[in-house]
Structure 1
């Protein structure tokens, strides 16, 4: 909970205690509590802002203020309540306060954790259209493939700009954005309204930090049905350590993608068969390759921007989560411009002709990998296409390890611990999509291993963590190729 939200709840309790234990004749105490509580009430609404989780607290605060004021008024008739009724009403008030407070705690106004690098982080968003590709995920045959990408980079923020909101600042755009979430989850719009208060650690459209050498580039793809928003903290952390990071929204495969003209696209991707996965995987692979083309134009000045000459195109890395991780693997394998890749808990959709491992790859799997591997081995003799696909994938991971790459899993994590979803609410753990590990701890571990890998492969420094077990991170287990 935020500071004035806590003070607001405490003020309600103080007013209730005044009603229960302070004599009516002691006016100064009651009036002082009313004045102080009123100030906190107003400041909370004006500074921190209203949110629906505190609705019961707001109502109870208004009622308690009125009752205490009238109680100490000379004109107020002294009404005697029996002890049973008085304490029953007080118990109901306390229960309502606990309910509202619990909603505020478990559906909090969250902010992204601060990056641990030495540099501040700037961000800028671009809208790119691939005129050479038709959009096959819509019915309009004239549509071309459009992408929203966000660039994160080191900055001085010399103008002391305020950090950016995580979600769209424009009220109408924000409303459209959360409507796509509410429609998908069959929830009313107001449930997500408090997201407007969540903030990043980045500063929009500020100047890139001057450097004697260009910055290495990392492209980041989200998982199926999520969006680039869920990887903002990973992008910020890498940028704070001297990387330029490009996060991509794969249009029509996200919960919501918002375009500069106010259009908001939702999820329209069909994923029922292995062939569907390969078809969509091909689209995403082309997305990444197209974005690299656009970054080359930014760096050359063909597209006017502040990034001209600032990007090291000889040191390009790609990473992704889930389907985005599989896309990162596939794109790295096919595109000679990409030097290294990280796949975060993504099952590969293309395993044929992927045996020649000639680049640095890293697989980071969730804590369920070990149990999954046991289950697969018990059923590996089943003759079906899915099992063959999984067997080929394990063969690829084994090749990666044998060729000097890395493959680890993080105990206590589940699939969505590789996204920022773990910061949204502790209640998400109850669904099983995030693990028992503390969200900030899980995020920090993944960030450290991602940074260590790209430092070694794109900067030629570090690389200690990916060499083997480390006492600082006992949750990280290195996969033995003999177990695959």
Structure 2
């Protein structure tokens, strides 16, 4: 239970469902006058080429919380990893059907062609041979109603740096995730959260999903070579929006997860942060909504329950989706929202640098001066309550 009134819960839901693409594409021209453009994600700064496998995982020991008649809890997972070479076929960003559903959900089907979004060039290679060695595992959970593909740039960046990265789609919580049979299940949760179900249900369900993904990826009988790449003693987690709340909830429930990050999400569950012990956690948010003087957020209460290494950062000029692929794609199309002061390039670089530094410090033990405090090279990033 969150203890919020029904009115405030509806307000939170409105925020969670706020147009993920409509924000960066605000004021865009109609499709007929929008020039065609080939989209490409930012390249990884790491030394490794990147490979990717798509997994369909089913936890048959759990009843799906949204569709109890389903055959278990189904999860689509994109696993990005350090590869041996950069040869082979580039992975698809998303299917055209997924892109169409996402655009329709945001009333943008007439602004950007689905084929343009689906055809975004990635830098991962399909089923590329893995690099030798064992690598830390990082799980990524997307924002409410958003597909895992919205965190592809971050997944590729971390994989290029030498991590195995599992981006997870949670069944019936996304507006555009294609199942192995080719259909796109509805976002049942979108119609229920804030009506007869609280946000905490989403958070707790995702925590169970993410622990199950760890079980599967570290079981050689289940995933073979992928499991042999993973060091099960070095596992981290990050999420955007409600996915960030799920990151903390997973850490509280699963001691295997050593470090976590919340990217601009509230926490929703009672006593969030109290189960982490001394494991490190970092909160990164938009300055307008997650500074210490912001109202309507539970960050201050959560911060006080964290007793290990911790950081509270806000980014001036950022908005809720600045930590995802969406502003980058909009900017590349020339459709960036002029009301968002932080450029899409700068937003991506800040996300990449701070997330990468956090995991390099806590999963690899590499010192990171960037995390000591504010720096003149990144004046947008403010450290709170050091």
* Both proteins in one fold, TM over 0.5: yes
SS in 2 for 1:245: strand
Question: What whole-Å deviation, never above 9, does each CA across 1:238-295 have from its counterpart, x for those lacking one?
Answer: 0001110000001111121112221212311122169511112121111101111111
Q: Are the aligned partners of 1:274 and 1:349 in contact in 2 as well (CA < 8 Å)?
A: no
| Number of the residue aligned with 1:218 | 138
Instruction: Please say if residues 108 and 425 of structure 1, whose CA atoms lie closer than 8 Å, have aligned partners that are also in contact.
Output: no
Q: Cα 1:185–1:473, aligned 2, differ >3 Å: closer, same or farther?
A: closer
Counterpart pick for 1:181 among 85, 89, 102: 102
2:316–2:380 contact (8 Å) kept in structure 1: yes
Q: Which moved more, 1:463-472 or 1:123-132?
A: 463-472
The question of 1:103 aligning with 2:60 is answered: no
Report whether the alignment pairs 1:163 with 2:90.
Answer: yes
Distance 1:353 1:398, change over 3 A: closer
| Cα contact 1:429–1:436 (8 A) shared by 2 | no
> Rg bigger for which structure?
1
TM, length-normalised to structure 2: 0.84
Given candidates 279, 283, 295, the residue that maps to 2:205 is: 283
Alignment match, 1:418: 323
Task: Find out whether 1:115 has 2:22 as its counterpart.
Answer: no
Residue of structure 1 aligned with 2:303, choices 384, 397, 412? 397
Distance 2:314 2:198 in 1: 28
**Match for residue 256 of structure 2 among 322, 337, 358:** 337
Residues 249 and 272 in structure 2, CA contact (< 8 A), matched pair in contact too: no
Aligned mate of 2:357, from 452, 455, 458: 452
Whose helix fraction is larger, Structure 1's or Structure 2's?
A: 1
Provide, for residues 66-106 of structure 1, a one-character-per-residue CA deviation record: whole Å limited to 9, x for no partner.
xxxxxxxxxxxxxxxxxxxxxxxxxxxxxxxx9999611xx
- 1:264–1:431 Cα change, 3 Å: farther
Partner of 1:315, secondary structure, is strand
Larger RCO of the pair (alpha carbons < 8 Å, separation 6+): 2
Aligned partners of 2:30, 2:54: CA distance in 1, in Å?
A: 40
Q: CA RMSD in A?
A: 2.5
**Which residue does the alignment assign to 2:77?**
149
User: Structure 1 443/274 Cα, relative in aligned 2: closer, same or farther at 3 Å?
Assistant: farther
Cα drift, residue 191 of structure 1: 3.2
Partner SS state of residue 368, structure 1: helix
Contact in 2 for aligned 1:278/1:349 (Cα 8 Å): yes
Quickly say closer, same or farther: Cα 1:120–1:474, change in 2 above 3 A. same
CA contact (8 A) 1:110 1:423 kept: no
Q: Residues 278, 431 of structure 1: CA spacing in aligned structure 2 closer, same or farther, 3 A cutoff?
A: farther
Residues 249-268 of structure 1 aligned to structure 2 (within 5 Å): 249-268=169-188
Alignment partner for residue 61 of structure 2, among 126, 132, 143? 132
**Per-residue deviation, residues 343-372 of structure 1 (Å, max 9, x unmatched):** 1011001132743542100001112136x6
Match of 2:238 among 316, 319, 322: 319
> Alpha-carbon deviation of 1:163?
2.3
Between 321-330 and 142-151, report the one with greater CA deviation. 142-151
Q: Secondary structure at the match of 1:309?
A: helix
2:346 alignment counterpart = 441
* Contact 2:148–2:167 under 8 Å retained in 1: yes
Out of 279, 282, 305, the position equivalent to 1:359 is: 279
Tell me, yes or no, if the aligned pair for 2:51 and 2:128 is still in contact at 8 Å.
yes
CA contact (8 A) 1:152 1:246 kept: yes
Q: Find the counterpart in structure 2 of residue 209 from structure 1.
A: 131
1:248 aligns with 2:168: yes
Following the alignment from structure 1 to structure 2, what is the Cα–Cα distance between the partners of residues 323 and 100?
31
Query: Which runs of no fewer than 5 residues in structure 2 stay unpaired?
Result: 1-28
- Encode CA deviations 1:391-411: one digit per residue, 9 max, x unaligned: 5x41221443x6431111111
* Preserved CA contact (<8 Å) 1:154 1:242: yes
Secondary structure, counterpart of 2:375 in structure 1 = coil
Unpaired runs of at least 5, structure 1? 1-97, 169-173, 377-386
Name the CA shift for 1:315/1:256 in 2 (closer, same or farther; >3 Å): same
Q: Tell me if structure 2 keeps the 8 A contact 1:235–1:245.
A: yes
| TM-score when normalising by structure 1 | 0.68
In structure 1, C-alpha distance between the alignment counterparts of 2:108 and 2:374, rounded to whole Å: 44
C-alpha change, 1:178 and 1:375, in structure 2 (3 Å) is closer
The CA deviation at 1:167 is 1.8
How far off is 1:185 after superposition? 3.4
Please say if 1:239 is aligned against 2:159.
Answer: yes
